[in-house]
Amino acid sequence: MIRKLSNGMTVAVEKMPNAKSASFTILLQRGAAYDPEGKAGLTAVMTEMLSRGCAGKNAVELISELDSLGIERSFDCSAEYVSLSASLLPDKLDRALNLFFDIITKPNCDQNEFKQSVELSIQSILAIEDNPAEKLMNELGLRFFPYPLGRPVKGIISEIKKLTVRDIKKAMSEFSPETAILSIAGNIEPDEVLVSVEKIFSVWKTASEIRKLSLTPPKELPSHIEKALGAQVQIGLAAPFVSAKDPNYPKAILLLMILTSGMSSRLFVEVREKRGLVYAVRAFYSLMQDNGAMIVYAGTTPDKAEECIQVICAELERLKEGANEKELERGKIKYRSSLIMACEMPSSRAQAMAVDILRFDRVRSISEMIESVTKIELEEMNSFLKSKRILPKIILTLGPEWRNKSGDGGKKI
């Protein structure tokens, strides 16, 4: 059930008759990509501030109220949005929604809490340096997606240090009900919940104009980042891929299942099982507004980096030759069973509903999603695979130096 409130906020509610708990997700479409030039990290600091007091309650009072409701909460941000999620027992839903309304619309923005939030945001950026896989993904996004969509979400330390509480207040005032999405799933009565949501959220009004991002192509940056003391070469590939609204989206999902899902998937078999090149290799979808990307990640030793990249590229290339009936069937079964299992949890369902509204302007039912993939026939799939070549636009490595066998010292394949 989907409603638009009078203030423009989109609300989706779904009863899960078998669930005991309930979950909700709020997406606020003012993510890190909206941070002004010179203020990269503003959204990360703001997200940290969300649990630090609202409506006159100080940070300690707010968090002990959340904890005393038994809420599992998660506040997070991406380039596109800030997301607030909560899982809880259904009888606490009303109080939780009231509290989250205050968190979003009546932040205290206390100076002292701001200082702590800046400090923690800096710590979290420093921690990336100790996590080469995360660093690789940041750098890959920066090279692939239009700027500032690909700008690292956690920001830049020197710019965070220059932020003020006023920046936070301004950014928070840019949260708008017109672009906000609230999804609720679990052991709830949709009609009652909607009445309650309307009462709580409809007084929220848009405070400032909704900005459109102006995007520019990503800059050319080096294709290798030297980290001499790393043990492994981290490898990332990014290729343009079908966007969510493309009618071929279900086929792209099935392509990914064939390529990377399960132990008999192509990447797993060719890169890991047959050649022992990596302990972990995976490909996944990355969507950013209308930009679809297929990202492939692998980590290996310097002597195997070249072969690893070659095998991955060969597998992407080989997709054009089509799949066989068995692979197609396995991909469908895998998609169906993992979707059913994932959707037993109200938290995953609420999250999926919110993202559906963001990407498709509607909520797809689980059976619709399954149907869209399982109905694809081999011939159809193979003509898609033939026409839709996956060509890596960026190949990035991070770690100790490695060289290709031609010996020219370059990092290009």
Contact positions with a second copy (CB under 8 A) in 231-270: 231-232, 234, 262-265, 269
Binding to a second copy in span 334-353, by CB under 8 A: 334, 336-338, 340-341, 344-347
Residue 27 CB, nearest distance to a second copy (Å)?
21
- Binding span for a second copy by CB under 8 A among 143-151, 159-167, 312-320, 327-335: 327-335
Binding to a second copy in span 42-61, by CB under 8 A: 51-52, 59-60
Binding characters for a second copy, 354-383, by CB under 8 A (x = yes): ------------------------------
Round to whole Å and give the CA distance between 61 and 64: 5
Residue 299 CB, nearest distance to a second copy (Å)?
6
CA angle 117, 122, 126 (to 5 degrees): 145
Residue 393 CB, nearest distance to a second copy (Å)?
26
Round to whole Å and give the CA distance between 403 and 295: 23
Round to whole Å and give the CA distance between 229 and 171: 39
Contact pick of 1, 126, 207, 391 for a second copy (by CB under 8 A): 126
Binding characters for a second copy, 98-117, by CB under 8 A (x = yes): -----------------xxx
Contact pick of 4, 36, 56, 120 for a second copy (by CB under 8 A): 120
Judged on CB neighbours under 10 Å (0-12, 13-18, 19+), 382 is middle
Binding to a second copy in span 274-313, by CB under 8 A: 274-276, 278-280, 299-301
Q: Which residue's structure tokens are 């619709």?
A: 368
329 vs 361 by CB, closer to a second copy? 329
Residue count, binding to a second copy (CB under 8 A) = 72
CA angle 400, 404, 410 (to 5 degrees): 80
- Binding span for a second copy by CB under 8 A among 77-85, 122-130, 199-207, 375-383: 122-130
- Closest by CA position to 254, among listed 366, 343, 360, 375: 375
State residue 247 phi and psi, 5-degree precision.
-60, -20
- Binding span for a second copy by CB under 8 A among 85-93, 165-173, 176-184, 243-251: 85-93
**Tokens (6 digits) for 295:** 């990202």
- Closest by CA position to 164, among listed 208, 114, 120: 114
- Binding span for a second copy by CB under 8 A among 69-77, 138-146, 204-212, 382-390: 69-77
Question: Which helix (H) or strand (E) covers residue 281, if one does?
Answer: strand 281-288
- Binding span for a second copy by CB under 8 A among 66-74, 141-149, 174-182, 194-202: 66-74
240 vs 400 by CB, closer to a second copy? 400
Residue 119 CB, nearest distance to a second copy (Å)?
3
189 vs 273 by CB, closer to a second copy? 273
**Tokens (6 digits) for 193:** 């919940």
Contact pick of 2, 69, 215, 225 for a second copy (by CB under 8 A): 69
Residue 16 CB, nearest distance to a second copy (Å)?
9
89 vs 244 by CB, closer to a second copy? 89
> Is residue 161 a contact residue for a second copy (CB under 8 A)?
no
State residue 364 phi and psi, 5-degree precision.
-85, 140
**Tokens (6 digits) for 305:** 């980096």
Give residues with Cβ within 8 angstroms of 409, minimum separation 6: 403
The CA dihedral of 110, 114, 117, 123, to the nearest 10 degrees, is: -160
Contact pick of 55, 109, 133, 225 for a second copy (by CB under 8 A): 133
* In contact, 129 and 278? CB cutoff 8 Å: no
Cβ of 84: how many Cβ atoms within 10 Å?
22
